[in-house]
Amino acid sequence: MTTPSRTLGAIALLLIVAWPALCETRIPQAALPRGSYQITTRLELPHVERWAIDKTTTICLSGRAATRQIPIPILSANNPYAACAAANVVIDNGQLEYDVVCPGRDAAKAHASYSLQSDDFAGRVAMVLGGKNMTMTEVQHGRRIGECESPRQDTVREF
């Protein structure tokens, strides 16, 4: 093989290997702008579809990615996830995924998966209650409705 052939072969190989990375469109870390979000949630239990009721809550998201705080909170009533943290947070191509890890033995755990848009999101949080064989899914749909009224620490969620 001559030198020009080797050079062209090396360039072709480089393009083949690098093409997926060149074509990939990544969204920035702060995919949802800071603001007040109206989130509609529904808790789904297996084989109990008739009892799923929608609940709407308004919370403030800060618009930044957090290292340990749950990015979009689990909003179902009486859930054991208040003292839990986020782990394995991945934001890629308009998708946000993370695990919810709780302290203690036989603790509750969850996996959240969201589809993000410029100022709204939709997602599912698959939850397993600690020490029990009970699974639930919280379905969330949120949309930005404006600026946060009061950026108090307890109402602002890191995202």
d(CA 111, CA 43) in angstroms, rounded, equals 14
CATH number of domain containing 145: 2.40.128
User: How many CB atoms lie under 10 A from the CB of residue 69?
Assistant: 16
Q: What was the pLDDT predicted at 34?
A: 84
Q: 12-26, 44-58, 63-77: lowest mean pLDDT where?
A: 12-26
d(CA 82, CA 124) in angstroms, rounded, equals 18
In a domain, 28, yes or no: no
| Global pTM exceeds 0.85 | no
Number of domains in the chain: 1
Tokens of 154: 């307890």
Please tell me which residue, 152 or 129, carries the higher pLDDT value: 129
In a domain, 105, yes or no: yes
**Measured between alpha carbons, how far apart are the two ends of the chain, in Å?**
54
- Digit-coded pLDDT (tens) for 79-126: 888 889 999 999 888 899 999 999 888 888 999 999 999 889 999 999
